Amino acid sequence: MLIRDYTAADAAPTLAVFEDAIRRTARSRYSAEQVEAWLGGPRDLAPWNAARLRVRTFVADDAGTVAGFTDLDDAGYVDRLFVSPDHGRRGVGRALLEHVLVTADALGLPELTTHASLVARPVFERAGFHVVHEETVRRGAVELTRFHMRRPSDAAAPTSP
Ligand SMILES: CC(C)(COP(=O)(O)OP(=O)(O)OC[C@H]1O[C@@H](n2cnc3c(N)ncnc32)[C@H](O)[C@@H]1OP(=O)(O)O)[C@@H](O)C(=O)NCCC(=O)NCCS
């Protein structure tokens, strides 16, 4: 599994991973209604690609197939962490976060933050993040639980599952 920088050619496969991960994997912890609210309807590829290019976006590449992706902005915020359900529970999420940690270290970022889903919380915890507080976010009329999480740069190294 290679972790590499995102390029525009990854727009369609990363969008497919995003939609699949929410529809199939996140569905284990969220209702069908919550999943649809999270997806928020079809997305155009051009703005999706532009948003990925605005921050550092990293792709997990399994012999040419996009298995997952994550990102890191200049303030240390990790906005996305999504792994294809076909590659789930094999350490891809963990490998992507380890790449984020190494990058953040090289940039000298004092802390990392994220908003993690119910499914992603344990993956972030294993990478040294802790919950600051639980939040309820509204997508239209639907409410979703997520966790504001933080990882100081001197947090302990990632732990094994
Ligand atoms: C969260 C996510 C990125 C983890 O990717 P991954 O490659 O499976 O992660 P790892 O293999 O490193 O870690 C696996 C852990 O993720 C969680 N997980 C993964 N798939 C899961 C599923 N289908 N149901 C419940 N938990 C799951 C579990 O904690 C699992 O640990 P376990 O196998 O010991 O129970 C991936 O499950 C995903 O894309 N989820 C849906 C989208 C989402 O919630 N993204 C985060 C937005 S903040």
For each of the chain's 161 residues, which pLDDT tens digit applies? 999 999 999 999 999 999 999 999 999 999 999 999 999 988 999 999 999 999 999 999 999 999 999 999 999 999 999 999 999 999 999 999 999 999 999 999 999 999 999 999 999 999 999 999 999 999 989 999 999 999 998 887 777 66
Q: How far is 113 from 19, CA to CA, in rounded Å?
A: 23
In a domain, 127, yes or no: yes
In a domain, 46, yes or no: yes
Q: What's the total number of domains in the chain?
A: 1
In a domain, 159, yes or no: no
Ligand 1 proximity of 123 Cβ (cutoff 6 Å): yes
Which pLDDT score is estimated for 153? 87
Q: Domain range spanning residue 122?
A: 2-85+92-152
Give the up-direction half-sphere exposure of residue 158: CA atoms within 13 A in the CB hemisphere: 18
Question: What are the tokens at 53?
Answer: 């290019």
Which pLDDT score is estimated for 154? 84
Mutate to test the pocket of ligand 1, among 35, 119, 135 (most ligand atoms within 8 A of CB): 119
